[in-house]
Amino acid sequence: MKKDYWMILTLLSAVTLGGCADPSENSVEEPATSDSSVAVTAANDPAVPDTVPLPPIAEKRPHTVSAPGGDRVDPYYWMRDDTREDPEVIAWLEGENEYIEARLAHTETLQDTLVDELRGRIKEDDSSVPFESNGYFYYTRYEAGSEYPIYARRQGSMDGEEQIMLNVAEMAEGKDFFQIGNWAVSENGRHLAWLQDEVGRRQFKLMFKDLDTGEVIDTGLTGISSITWAADNQTLFYVANDPETLRSRFVRQYILGAENTAENLYDEDDASFYTGVSKTASGRFNFIYVGSTVSSEMRIFDSQNPELGFQVLFPRERDHEYIADHANGRWVIRSNWEAPNFRLMQAAEDQINDRDQWSDLIAHSEDNFIHNFNLFNEFVAVSERSDGLRRLRVLNFATGDSELIEFDEAAYAAYLSTNENPASQRLRYAYTSMTTPTSIFEIDVVNGDRELLKQQEIPSGFDSADYQTDRLWIEVRDGTMVPVSILHHVDTPLDGTAPLYQYAYGSYGSSSEPTFSTNRLSLVDRGFVFAIAHIRGGQEMGRTWYDQGKLLNKINTFSDFIDVTSGLVDRNLVDPDRVFAMGGSAGGLLMGAVANMAPDHYAGIIAHVPFVDVVTTMLDESIPLTTNEFDEWGNPMKPEFYDYMLSYSPYDNVSAQAYPAMLVTTGLWDSQVQYWEPAKWVARLRELKTDRNPLLLYTDMEAGHGGSSGRFERLERVAMEYAFVLDQAGMIGAD
């Protein structure tokens, strides 16, 4: 299915060490634990009840981590357990969970209230907008009260009889974690292939279902990351991960009804590249896509005759990233060849292998960054960014004219949605802003007629007029102007009295969009200003924005975040004593660096699945997903990068200073940021920090990088985070 096409890029960008996680969005004294400190008890600190235990104190076991740049001693290295079975490690993590439960016990009523609020904004019996493919209308729906979706379809029209393909709630019964990954239906509509994860480690199992008979085939194959059908309706191509590093590496095939082997059709042996498979819009070609941080390559093969083998579309070159799609006899290519912000090019079928024959459809621009595109027979729809905003453009092949789809708000994000039929003249897209619930539209590209197909419903009620969003620009220390998106209730004055909750990511070129979130309303309705800092390391302002926030420029990411905080405070918009910062995954690295560099700026810091042990992890190529990262962070085997990374690595830079209140989360089965990174970080913070602010670590013992798999289960973690923030802001009981 064509919907898999850009999923390849999403997958390759998300499965990284710092992962592109999208986290859900009164000081009680903390026992100091350095050797010279005195443990806090109810006897010497009435703020800590007798019922609250002391936090578990991690034993120090010196371990030498060697590198060309020098040896380092890591006293908490022993917390690494690849099996997740070491009783001492498990006991320590469970002890931390017991500690956080006790320390937040006084917020239980608030947490229950928050869960009810959060759930009340979810339409429980919701359904996605159906899309048509090969005579069937496919959609996902939820039943009231169910944690998991139902994947279904109807033949001919939505008036046809519903056929349930996967009832995930039934499949998940009795399991602590369950998730459906990629799925695809053969062109004749008979066979469904899907990937499922029962651990949370994103090492998916390959499954099949005969949609005519209901027969299910469990292949027993695990560690699968992407799938695509050939046109014969019997052959499925899949990517198998390296069993040690978990890097998507091998392309293999599974033929229904045949005796299958694990023979490799392709092996990407360059450890800096990830691998995916998909199909072009025309359906004529299947392809293998391999990508690293700075380059990519495609191999195509005839979907009708896959036995003919693969053809390299254009050979890889360092610093050349491209991806191509095919429809109506034309190849269209997104390429950064001599175009840092990318350009859109086209080539005839017999000229695709000769880059000199590629011609511009949309030339390179210093002001516009091209994200991706959907290819149709008669036009191409392009997702681009200008002035930090995500917008859409339609280019007509016959006339060569291109037009922007116009939107009214000053800060928004518009995305390409599911567009399965290249012969269509209707484009489906999504629109959202921080005050506009996500809306799915279709536009007729010939006459411009626009139709709203669905807007996200908030059952408990929502009126956009109650909220205001603004776009600010803050000058940071090197003179760069950084955009900031803010949201607040119209009754919240921007006069220096409101608490601030500031979020950012800032890595991998992943941009933080000013999109709608029902969860954050629980803070905004209580008087918080919510801010997204569009710091360097993302691509909000184009490719240069990314380049200025990675490798030997990484410090810009951290200083931008700190300077945005200072700018909001200096403009007297928020309360300087109630500033909270949140980030996850690589954004958790950001939180760790900020905590070391400017702890006095923040009343509280929340770090979800944080990538904080940068140097030790990057030195060890056996750790999953490390080898692809050298062009993002640098190779610490080289002294220049080793010294630079060591200068900001949060774990290595914990010092004897006062830190803000901190909440840290992780998942035992995380394959992207291993649980021991945040665990070691918390242990070192407990050892060295001089304050008595809360330091709390929560480990989800049943999940991985993305947290709990159930849609309502996730709300408990959000409620815990918000209760922590409201408690530290002195707002327990705030309406």
At what angle are helices 108-120 and 713-728 packed, to 10 degrees?
130
Three-state DSSP class for 557? helix
The active-site residue out of 325, 670, 700, 727 is 670
Per CATH, the homologous superfamily of domain 14-119+461-728 is Alpha/Beta hydrolase fold, catalytic domain (3.40.50.1820)
Q: Is the CB of residue 80 less than 8 Å from the CB of residue 674?
A: yes
User: Average pLDDT for residues 470-479, to the nearest whole number?
Assistant: 96
The active-site residue out of 585, 671, 708, 709 is 585
Three-state DSSP class for 347? strand
Please give the C-alpha separations between residue 333 and each of 167, 281, 347, 401, 507, in angstroms, as whole numbers: 38, 13, 8, 18, 25
Above 60 in pLDDT, residue 25? no
Three-state DSSP class for 602? coil
User: Average pLDDT for residues 277-287, to the nearest whole number?
Assistant: 95
> Rounded to 5 degrees, what angle do the CA atoms 231, 236, 238 make?
135
The active-site residue out of 705, 708, 709, 727 is 705
pLDDT of 189-238, one tens digit each? 999 999 999 887 788 999 999 999 999 999 999 999 999 999 999 999 99
Above 90 in pLDDT, residue 68? yes
**Could you confirm whether 670 is annotated as catalytic?**
yes
Q: Which residue intervals of the chain bear CATH 2.130.10.120?
A: 128-320
pLDDT of 166-178, one tens digit each? 999 999 998 888 8
Q: What is the pLDDT of residue 199?
A: 83
Q: Report the C-alpha gap between 528 and 525 in whole angstroms.
A: 7
Please give the C-alpha separations between residue 626 and each of 247, 376, 644, 698, in angstroms, as whole numbers: 9, 37, 18, 24
**Could you confirm whether 242 is annotated as catalytic?**
no
Matching residue, tokens 């990314």? 546
CA nearest neighbour of 165 among 173, 155, 157, 153? 153
Which H or E element spans position 647?
helix 639-648
pTM score, whole prediction = 0.91
Q: Report the C-alpha gap between 534 and 607 in whole angstroms.
A: 18
**Could you confirm whether 585 is annotated as catalytic?**
yes
**CATH 3.40.430.10 corresponds to the domain 128-320:** no
Above 80 in pLDDT, residue 258? yes
Above 80 in pLDDT, residue 275? yes
Q: Which residue intervals of the chain bear CATH 3.40.50.1820?
A: 14-119+461-728
pLDDT of 107-162, one tens digit each? 999 999 999 999 999 999 999 999 999 999 999 999 999 989 999 999 999 999 99
